[in-house]
Chains A and B, each alone.
Chain A
Amino acid sequence: MAALTTGFGRARQGGAGDPREYKAETAAGGDKLGGGGGGGDRGCSFLRKVSVPGSGGGGGGGARLRSIAGTRPSVQNGQLLVSAGLPALDQLLGGGLAVGTLLLIEEDKYNIYSSLIFKYFLAEGIVCGHTLLVASAKEDPGDILQELPEPLHDDNYKKVLDEGRSHKSQEEPEISMKIAWRYQNLPQMEAGPGTSSRFGHYYDVSKRMSQEVIQSAKWHKFFLPEEITSYANVESCALNHGYTKLLHFIQRVISEQGFDGSNPQKKQKNILRIGIQSLGSPLWGDDICCADTPEHMHSLTRFLYVLRGLLRMSLSACIITVPSHLIQNKAVTSRIRNLSDTVVGLESFIGSEKEANSLYKDYHGLIHIHQIPRLNSLICDVSDTKDLAFKLQRKVFTIERLHLPPDLSDTVSRSSKRDLVESAKQLSPGCGMMAGGKEHLDF
């Protein structure tokens, strides 16, 4: 009978505590186990289910590995995952967002859709019962929480989906394809509510979350104008004043609330969801979005590095949105991407010339998955589809694969074909992390 040991409970002693050793139980036959808790801080990929409760190892006060609400282990490497709020996005990110990592959203031009994804993340935290930490320099975090979408129950979701698709008859499962019969068995893009009803939830964007649910949530707020009372020019830690305050605030919440395992008596462990809005914008006192050669070029990257350190040593997941389209210096953008774990870029069609393009007429924008982390393994779960577009219907936000429409014109004129080829070039040549194509190659 295997004793169950947690890397987390031993975090304080071994000093190598890392929430990614904290794997949820899986029934898969795993490797050996640190027997009797004396195995030091060895983390195992899979832990066997304990048949007798309370038979924890000697270390860590015998803290039993209890699964936290709203999390699940990754099927690939046992990593603990939380949902990002959108099941379609979870699927693209390899099952969800890993605990201890950072999700960077590169904002679209007017910050419409990225703030929506930000709210989905926070709403998911409230529904799962996680603790939230919301930081913003622009709007009061209390106001952000008032605007969260309302969660849908499983039976409502199908009705909402059918409304959205009523003008397109897409439910033809019984008609088998005659010409493109190879594509008959391709899976649909979105997972239905039955498959992941515990892990990811669905939301109705047209309604607000009810007040009782919001009041019942535990959250901490950081609103920059309230925290900074004096605009001193002195920079401690060679970091921006606002960033320093935010880091100290996050560190205080993590250590006081015990998210880093410093309070072993607490039986029920919880996840801290951190959301920081519009980091790097001038409202935070940073000038990388304003100048071509900014004075404080390293403030944001230093902040991200320290934040990464804080996240790795605690049970937390963080989402930040950065207005990268304002950053002139491409070097800073690539450095920010290297310091984040998961990077998702949003590109909306509002106001751009793509709005008139027939290729994109059904959608509101493109979504690019720039980077997915490889944690605790050599490989990562990259989705095959690189051309993804999103649209915001009245109630739901959907992400779908982008298809090139067939060229059905009678006389194939050069100009229209060139348009299509141009837009085909826009379809991303590949996930930047895996491979990149040269532009002159044209298929």
Chain B
Amino acid sequence: MFPELNNLLNVSPDKPEQGKFTLLCDAKTDGGFLVHHFLSFYLKANCKVCFVALLQSFSHYNIVGQKLGVNLIAARDRGQLVFFEGLKSTVEVLFGSKEQPNTLKFIRESSSDLKSLYEFVQKALTPSGDGSATSWKFPVLLVDDLSVLLSLGVEAVAVLDFIQYCRATVCCQLKGNVVALVHDSDQTEDEENAMLMNALGHQSSLILRAEGLVTGFCKDVHGQLKILRRGLLQPKSEQTRSLIYQYKIQDKSVTFFARGLSPAVL
């Protein structure tokens, strides 16, 4: 987790917010650092995390997590982290034996249904009946990323249904959080992606949007981050406040600063 981002968002691992849906999007740049931030943040906050990683392998997140101070292998062993590796499961589904339970069977069939993935998430995050497990604070679902599902042939409506089911279970029923990453494609004509992003944007309480700089590539400023808070129930204060910061990604952390005040310029 990046301490500066925690300050900007006004949260800390000791008192994280509950029952929220956070949308991460990136446009023309790579927003993966936000996923690493939230993964390490919720692990440090002692929450039970179900991470659906569709695009990268486990060791990628593990190695970055070590730089950020969390050990994913230890978290997985003690049951705090349930890691779903999309790439590995796909290979097993297509080339393995047919009897294996396949959460990704939509790859094999044309019918695009994410019900099996939802059942996996539900089983992972619903606390089991026995009291032997240590109590975690609240469950968190992290998805990286949803645009890949569109590439795999799942319809945007099916993805929205999946997120709706997950929000109902995780946010409302279990009082947990859901964080999802979607790639923004404003320049290309990807209508399905645009629809997905707009719909999820309306459902979310916090949107973090990583964009490239308008002026192009810069070595010292890697992009800008827009933080958009949507107040769902409070019409008076905290309506839709948006803050913009610029950032630079380093090996072990990300530094944020106000626009135009990069340390390289000052």
On A, residues with C-beta under 8 Å from B are 7, 16, 18, 20-21, 40-43, 45, 77, 236-238, 247-248, 251, 298, 301-302, 305-306, 308-310, 312-313, 329-331, 333-335, 338-339, 374-379, 382, 384, 386, 429-438, 441
Q: Mark B139-165, 1 if CB is under 8 A from A, else 0.
A: 000000001101111000000000000
Chain B residues contacting A306 (CB-CB under 8 Å) are 90-91, 94, 107
Shortest Cβ gap from A404 to chain B (Å): 16
Chain A residues contacting B222 (CB-CB under 8 Å) are 434-435
The answer on a CB contact under 8 Å between A309 and B87 is yes
Chain B residues contacting A330 (CB-CB under 8 Å) are 187-190
Within 8 Å by CB of B33, from A16, A247, A309, A378, lies A378
Count contacts between A and B, CB distance < 8 Å: 165
The answer on a CB contact under 8 Å between B58 and A378 is no
Closest 10 CB pairs of A and B: A435-B212, A430-B217, A331-B190, A309-B87, A298-B153, A436-B28, A437-B216, A430-B216, A301-B151, A18-B59
Shortest Cβ gap from B46 to chain A (Å): 22
Residue of A nearest to B61 (CB): A376
Q: Contacts A18-B60, A302-B152, A378-B251 given; 11 further ones with Cβ under 8 A?
A: A238-B109, A302-B107, A305-B90, A331-B189, A335-B151, A339-B55, A377-B63, A378-B67, A379-B250, A430-B213, A433-B28
The answer on a CB contact under 8 Å between A331 and B108 is no
Shortest Cβ gap from B53 to chain A (Å): 11
In the complex with contacts A251-B95, A338-B148, A430-B212, A375-B60 CB distance below 8 A: yes
- Complex Cα–Cα for A384 and B217 (A): 9
The answer on a CB contact under 8 Å between B219 and A384 is yes
- Complex Cα–Cα for A438 and B95 (A): 45
Chain B residues contacting A247 (CB-CB under 8 Å) are 94
- Complex Cα–Cα for A334 and B214 (A): 20
Chain A residues contacting B217 (CB-CB under 8 Å) are 382, 386, 429-431, 434-435
The answer on a CB contact under 8 Å between B95 and A45 is no
Residue of B nearest to A21 (CB): B59
The answer to the question of B17 belonging to the interface, with a C-beta cut-off of 8 Å to chain A, is no
Chain B residues contacting A42 (CB-CB under 8 Å) are 73
User: From residue 158 to 207 of chain B, which have CB atoms closer than 8 A to chain A?
Assistant: 183, 185, 187-193
The number of chain B residues touching the other chain, given as a range, is 35 or more
The answer on a CB contact under 8 Å between B109 and A338 is no
Chain A residues contacting B147 (CB-CB under 8 Å) are 335, 338
The answer to the question of B36 belonging to the interface, with a C-beta cut-off of 8 Å to chain A, is yes
The answer on a CB contact under 8 Å between A378 and B36 is yes
The answer on a CB contact under 8 Å between B189 and A378 is no
The answer on a CB contact under 8 Å between B151 and A339 is yes
- Complex Cα–Cα for A336 and B236 (A): 44
Shortest Cβ gap from A386 to chain B (Å): 6
- A and B contact pairs by CB, cutoff 8 A, 9 listed: A20-B60, A42-B73, A298-B151, A305-B152, A309-B86, A309-B87, A309-B90, A435-B212, A435-B223
In the complex with contacts A309-B90, A378-B33, A302-B60 CB distance below 8 A: no
- Complex Cα–Cα for A374 and B90 (A): 22
- Complex Cα–Cα for A296 and B76 (A): 39
Chain A residues contacting B189 (CB-CB under 8 Å) are 329-331
- Complex Cα–Cα for A430 and B87 (A): 30
Residue of B nearest to A255 (CB): B95
Shortest Cβ gap from A424 to chain B (Å): 12
Residue of B nearest to A328 (CB): B189
- Complex Cα–Cα for A47 and B36 (A): 24
The answer to the question of B30 belonging to the interface, with a C-beta cut-off of 8 Å to chain A, is yes
Instruction: Choose among B33, B62, B109 the residue with the greatest number of A CB atoms under 10 Å from its CB.
Output: B62
The answer on a CB contact under 8 Å between B88 and A238 is no
Residue of B nearest to A244 (CB): B94
The answer on a CB contact under 8 Å between A298 and B216 is no
Within 8 Å by CB of B188, from A331, A374, A437, lies A331
Shortest Cβ gap from A106 to chain B (Å): 14
In the complex with contacts A334-B190, A338-B183, A435-B223, A429-B58 CB distance below 8 A: no
Chain A residues contacting B187 (CB-CB under 8 Å) are 330, 436
Residue of A nearest to B217 (CB): A430
Shortest Cβ gap from B58 to chain A (Å): 5
Shortest Cβ gap from A435 to chain B (Å): 3
Residue of A nearest to B252 (CB): A378
Within 8 Å by CB of A434, from B29, B110, B251, lies B29
Chain A residues contacting B91 (CB-CB under 8 Å) are 251, 306, 309-310, 313
The answer to the question of B75 belonging to the interface, with a C-beta cut-off of 8 Å to chain A, is no
Residue of B nearest to A237 (CB): B108
Residue of B nearest to A100 (CB): B57
The answer to the question of B266 belonging to the interface, with a C-beta cut-off of 8 Å to chain A, is no
The answer to the question of B117 belonging to the interface, with a C-beta cut-off of 8 Å to chain A, is no
User: From residue 92 to 107 of chain B, which have CB atoms closer than 8 A to chain A?
Assistant: 94-95, 107
- Complex Cα–Cα for A16 and B73 (A): 10
Chain B residues contacting A302 (CB-CB under 8 Å) are 107, 151-153
The answer to the question of B64 belonging to the interface, with a C-beta cut-off of 8 Å to chain A, is yes
Chain A residues contacting B214 (CB-CB under 8 Å) are 437-438, 441
The answer on a CB contact under 8 Å between A432 and B28 is yes
- Complex Cα–Cα for A73 and B189 (A): 39
In the complex with contacts A430-B217, A433-B29, A434-B222, A339-B153 CB distance below 8 A: no
In the complex with contacts A330-B188, A386-B217, A434-B29, A378-B254 CB distance below 8 A: yes
Shortest Cβ gap from B100 to chain A (Å): 14
The answer on a CB contact under 8 Å between B216 and A429 is yes
The answer on a CB contact under 8 Å between A435 and B28 is yes
The answer on a CB contact under 8 Å between B249 and A305 is no
Chain B residues contacting A382 (CB-CB under 8 Å) are 217
The answer on a CB contact under 8 Å between B95 and A248 is yes
- Complex Cα–Cα for A70 and B110 (A): 41
- Complex Cα–Cα for A433 and B76 (A): 32
In the complex with contacts A305-B90, A331-B189, A433-B59 CB distance below 8 A: no
Chain B residues contacting A335 (CB-CB under 8 Å) are 147, 150-151, 190
The answer on a CB contact under 8 Å between A312 and B57 is yes
The answer on a CB contact under 8 Å between B108 and A377 is no
Within 8 Å by CB of A435, from B62, B87, B109, B218, lies B218
- Complex Cα–Cα for A174 and B81 (A): 61
The answer to the question of B79 belonging to the interface, with a C-beta cut-off of 8 Å to chain A, is no
